[in-house]
Amino acid sequence: MALLGGESINTTSNIYDVIIIGGGPAGLMSAHELIKSKREFLILEKGKHLNERSYQIASDVPSGFGGSGLFSDGKLSFPPAATKLWTMTNNLLIKEAYTRFQSILKEIDVDILQWDESWLNKDFYEFGERKEYDSFYLTSKQRVELNNYLYSRLNAYIKFNSEVISISKEEGFYIIETKDQSCYKAKYVVFSAGKYGSILLEKVGFISREYNYIVEAGVRIETLSDLLNVYNDKSIDYKFIKKINDSVEIRTFCCCKDGSVLESKFDDFVSYNGYSLDEKTNHSNIGVLIRIKTENSPYGKEINELLKNISKKKISLSEYMDNNFKFIGKNCDSIIKEYIGMLVNLNEDAVLNNTSVYGPEIEYIGKYPLFDYQKLKMVNEKVWVPGDCSGQFRGLVAALVSGIYCAQELNDDLEQVENSIKFLNIKKSKIDTMKLIFTAQSKVYFYCRDIICEYVLKKELLPINPFRVFDYFLSDRVPRDIIRRGNNQLIQTCEELWVFGPIADGVLFEIALAKKHGKKIKYFTIGSKIEEIFEIREDDVVFEPEVHAKQVKKIDLISFIKSNENPIDPQLKLFGDTNE
């Protein structure tokens, strides 16, 4: 039982092998792989169903089925893009993950680059200021087909509008609580919450004193396509990277030829991103970003200040080039302005008048977890971190492939545990959950508690009997009010209330409380032998004298227990004052 905001949250039927946080490209691929291994899992997605998302709503852009990459752009970039994914992971597993990804795309008749063994060679990733790689766009139709393909296989395993607000550990399980006051338990977690996911990782305590620090922010420029110097470059996604010093570099990001600029909002973060659809816009855009890996540099301090107080802007390039204007800070803007001069001709009036600058664009936001880079797994945790949330690589291909990779690693971990059980010849028992049944009975029949429990267990249900839990009220060593509170909480936890024998006043209260919380109620006879117990109709229920002493007619009592009302105040209609 988990408590949140004063309300009890039932975790009984919400136990899984794996909880996947985030239904973007990485999370969906992890889920697709876990189906194959027949694991019990659930995807918790903060945003909406794909068909409910809109480009016009900024909060829909980063969140929802398919995440940002499968919603707004669909650009596939191949090695050496996302360098670290290919160079720090297990060679055999990453190759297998890529091959699995390749086969999934074949389901929608999309062919991608064949696996190349040179991708595993670190020399392959040595380049100067230009980083060139193959890219192509999924068409809008192909993105729809891929999303539909994934949804058709995963719709039974995903909960939308389920924002995770808390993760804790208890007895070998991760307890995940969501904003709608639901609670889930899992042995493993795949944390695939995208580039802003580290906000939650830090909030729930997975990022402690030691962490990887990386921030990346800047602006996005948009101009007429024929005014962008790199428009005719052979690379679809033009990439330029230059080191300023050991911890600071400037780089272009996500070149969108004949595309558009899109506003994105995640919690308090507002950012601009580029995207390209099938229809040509005759405008092109590209991000110019500064990446910083130490917190205390002048550049880092400026971006940290920006992150504390984000204010979105769209201005003309001529305004931005004015020395008095800053998007981020004096140091950062100075470098950005210099490198904009590589992308457009600043001496042409047509460029200055037809180019817009959007800001900020935010891609990395600070603290990212330390983890076993080969496994993409957090140190000393059963938590895997694929995709942009890792802080180590990004892009749609990297997210999709790393999602598969993490599921493979997770499966290997589970199989090791299962193989150990077999090797040690540990006797296994069923671990599937049983429905919880609260067994209500009068204290007059205290001695029948074991028979009642036996009756319920033989139906493969789990009895919660107050006379077994609290003995006979612990011989009054604990105040009765505390016992009653505990008893009432157990009723709310159970899925059904079964009433055995004549109904006493206290049992009537339990019935009323169960009705209030929408629990199913059944009635039974009572006896000292199982064969003496059988289900009866509500009309055949009998009441103890203490109930009749309240001057309430039996017809009214029967009417009360048969009604479908959820009483606002238990027994109010019958007895007036519930404190009697």
Q: What pLDDT, on the 0 to 100 scale, is given for residue 368?
A: 87
Q: Do both 48 and 169 map to the same domain? A: yes
* Range of weakest confidence among 64-78, 500-514, 558-572: 558-572
Tell whether 314 and 419 lie within a shared domain: no
Share of the chain above pLDDT 90, in %: 51
Residues 237, 175 share a domain: no
Better pLDDT: 472 or 285: 285
Residue with tokens 């180019």: 355
* Segment among 21-25, 67-71, 569-573 with least mean pLDDT: 569-573
Its pTM stands at 0.73
| Among 321, 345, 368, residue at a domain's last position | 368
Q: What is the pLDDT of residue 370?
A: 84
Distance CA 38, CA 300 (A): 45
pLDDT category, 421, cuts 50, 70, 90? low
Question: Same domain for 379 and 475?
Answer: no
Residue 329 and residue 220 share a domain: yes
Answer yes or no: do 388 and 300 share one domain: no
Distance CA 252, CA 81 (A): 13
What span, in angstroms and rounded, lies between the C-alpha atoms of 439 and 240? 69
405, 430, 455: which is the final residue of a domain? 430
- Pairing between β-strand 269-275 and β-strand 260-266 as defined by DSSP bridges: antiparallel
Q: What is the CATH number of the domain that holds 440?
A: 3.40.50
Task: State residue 524's pLDDT score.
Answer: 97
User: What mean pLDDT comes out for the span 148-166?
Assistant: 94
Nearest alpha-carbon partner for 44 in 60, 22, 16? 22
Q: Is 297's pLDDT higher than 90? A: no
> For residue 386, what is the domain's CATH number?
3.50.50.60
Of these ranges, 167-171, 194-198, 227-231, 294-298, the one predicted with the greatest mean pLDDT is 227-231
Residue 555 banded pLDDT, cuts 50, 70, 90:
confident
> Does residue 358 contact residue 222 with C-beta atoms inside 8 Å?
yes
pLDDT score, position 414: 85
Mean pLDDT of the chain: 87
CA triple 245-250-255, angle to 5 deg: 160
Q: For residue range 367-410, what is the model confidence (pLDDT) as tens digits?
A: 888 888 889 999 889 999 999 999 899 999 999 999 999 999 99
Q: Which residues are within 8 A (CB) of 427 and not within 5 positions of it... i.e. 6 or more apart?
A: none
Rounded to whole angstroms, the Cα distance separating 434 from 537 reads 25
Residues 451 and 515 in one domain: yes
pLDDT above 80: residue 123:
no
Dihedral in degrees, nearest 10, Cα atoms 357, 358, 359, 365: -120
The pLDDT tens digits of the residues spanning 495-518 come to 999 999 999 988 999 999 999 888
Q: How confident is the model at residue 541 (pLDDT cuts 50, 70, 90)?
A: very high
Q: Bigger pLDDT: 363 or 471?
A: 363
Domain check: are 412 and 539 in the same one?
no
Question: What integer pLDDT is reported at residue 305 of this predicted model?
Answer: 84
In a domain, 259, yes or no: yes
pLDDT of 568 strictly over 60: no
State the Cα–Cα distance between residues 90 and 146, nearest whole angstrom.
Answer: 27
The whole-number average pLDDT for the span 192-199 is 88
Average pLDDT over residues 418-426: 68
Same domain, 243 and 265: yes
Give domain status of residue 152, yes or no. yes
Phi and psi torsions of 378, nearest 5°:
-65, 140
Asked if the model's pLDDT at residue 255 lies above 90, the reply is: yes
Is residue 10 predicted with pLDDT exceeding 60? no
On whether both 546 and 571 belong to a single domain, the answer is yes
Mark which of 368, 393, 418 sits at the end of a domain. Answer: 368
Helix (H) or strand (E) holding 17: strand 15-21
Contacts of 362 (CB under 8 A, 6+ apart): 216, 217, 269, 271, 307, 310
Residue-level pLDDT at 576: 41
> DSSP 3-state assignment of 72?
helix
State whether 551 and 484 are in the same domain.
yes
Domain count, the chain: 3
Is residue 184 included in any domain, yes or no? yes
Q: Which domain holds residue 536?
A: 436-575
296 Cβ neighbours under 8 A, 6+ residues apart: none
